[in-house]
Amino acid sequence: MNDIGKSITKRKQLKQKLKIFQEERPFNKAQKMDVPKGLYEKCPTCERTVNKKTNIINDYICTHCGNHFRMRAIDRINYIVDSETFIEKGIGYITLNPLFQNGYEEKIQEYKKNTHLDEAYIYGYGKINNKPCVIGVMDSYFLMGSMGSVVGEKVTKTFEYAIYKRLPVIIFCASGGARMQEGIFSLMQMAKTSAAVARHSKMGLLYISVLTHPTTGGVNASFASLGDIILAEPNALIGFAGPRVIEQTIKQKLPEGFQRSEFLLEKGFIDQVVHRKDLKTVLAKLLAFHGGYN
C-alpha cells in the first residue's frame, strides 16, 4: 500500500475513534446532567426550598418566584438545540499548566470528572427550530467558567468555523472572567477572541450573545459585549468588576439590583431581557430574520 493509501486508512481509523468518543457523550439523548445530591435546594431570591427534580423538569426555573438557577452547558444544549442535531466540534484540547501552579492540573482533572466536559466551554453545529447555526455554551460549574488558553482558543475556533460554514453564532456566556492560574495567557485571550468576532462580523454574519448569570471580568470585556444582538436572562450578574471589588474600592454598599440584567437594560447595554422559557422562540425568530446566508 502506498503512503496516501496508508494515511487514508489511518484517518478513517481515527474518525472511527472520534465517532465512539462522540457517542459516549449524552448530547443526543434527553438526559439531564445535574443529578441531584440532596433532594432539595434553597432558592437564593425567595429563600424557599425547591424540590430539585421539579426544578430540573422546570428547566432550572424556581417554581415559586421564577428565579433562574445556573444551568449546566449540556442541559443548556439539550434545552435550546433541536434534539439529535447537535454535533460537537473542537474536541481534544488539553489544558496545560504554563505557570507551573501547584495543584492546577489536579483541579482541572477533578472538574473534568464532575462536569463531564473537557473545558469550561463547548461549541458545535446545531439547529434551533430547524435553523442552522453554531452554538457555544460556557459552563459556570467548571472553575467558574473562567477563560484560559483552551476556552479562548475554542471561542476563536467557534467563529472561524462559522466563517468557514457561513453560519451565525450564538454564545451563552457564563463566566467569572479570565483564568488567573494561566496568568498572562488568559489575558491575551481577550484580544484573540475580540479579533475573531471582528473577522466574523466583517463577513456580514450574525452573532448573538446571550448573557447568563454570571458574566463578569475578562469575558464581559471581550466577546460577550460584542454581539450584534445582546440578550440576557433575568436577574443575571453582568459587569466588568465584581461587586466585592467595587465595594472595597469605593468603601460603601452597592445599591439593590446594581449590575443586574434589568439595570443594564436601563443603562442601554443590552437589547432585551428574555425569560428562559421564551429564549428558544426569540433566538429562532432572530435567526429567521437573518436567514439570507443559509
Partner 1 sequence: MNILEKEKKLIALEKQIDSLGNANSVKKLKAEIDNFKQNEMTKLSAWDRVLLARHQARPKAKEFINYLSPNFIELHGDRLYRDDPSIIGGIGTIDGNVFTIIAQQKGATTEDNIKRNFAMPHPEGYRKALRLMQQAEKFKRPILTLIDTPGAYPGIGAEERGQGQAIAQNLMEMSKLTVPIITVIIGEGGSGGALAIGFANKMLMLENAIFSILSPEGYASILWKDVTKAPQAAEAMKLTAYDLKDFQIIDEIIKEPPGGAHFDKEKVFIDTKVAILDTYNKLKKLTGIELYYQRNTKTRNYGFLQRFNYDNLGGIKNDIHKDFRDR
Is the Cβ of residue 55 or residue 149 nearer to partner 1 in the bound state?
A: 149
The answer to whether 265 contacts partner 1 (rule: CB under 8 A) is no
| Half-sphere exposure in the Cβ direction for 102 (13 Å, CA) | 0
Size of the site for partner 1 (CB under 8 A): 71
Cell numbers describing residue 261: 440584567
Pick the piece of the chain touching partner 1 (CB under 8 A) from 10-18, 72-80, 106-114, 279-287.
10-18
The binder of partner 1 chosen from 194, 228, 262, 284 (CB under 8 A): 194
The answer to whether 95 contacts partner 1 (rule: CB under 8 A) is yes
| Interatomic CA distance for residues 7 and 3, integer angstroms | 6
Please name every residue paired with 137 in a beta bridge, in sequence order, or none if there are none. 122, 172
Least CB distance to partner 1 at residue 73 (A) = 19
The answer to whether 23 contacts partner 1 (rule: CB under 8 A) is no
- Look at the chain and count its residues: 294
The binder of partner 1 chosen from 57, 87, 245, 288 (CB under 8 A): 245
Per CB under 8 A, contacts with partner 1 among 166-185 are 178, 180-185
Contact 246, 254 (CB under 8 A): yes
Q: Which helix (H) or strand (E) holds 16?
A: helix 3-23
| Interatomic CA distance for residues 56 and 75, integer angstroms | 9
The answer to whether 140 contacts partner 1 (rule: CB under 8 A) is no
| Interatomic CA distance for residues 292 and 294, integer angstroms | 6
The answer to whether 259 contacts partner 1 (rule: CB under 8 A) is yes
Could you give phi then psi for residue 137, rounded to 5 degrees? -130, 130
Pick the piece of the chain touching partner 1 (CB under 8 A) from 44-52, 126-134, 253-261, 286-294.
253-261
Per CB under 8 A, contacts with partner 1 among 54-93 are 91-93
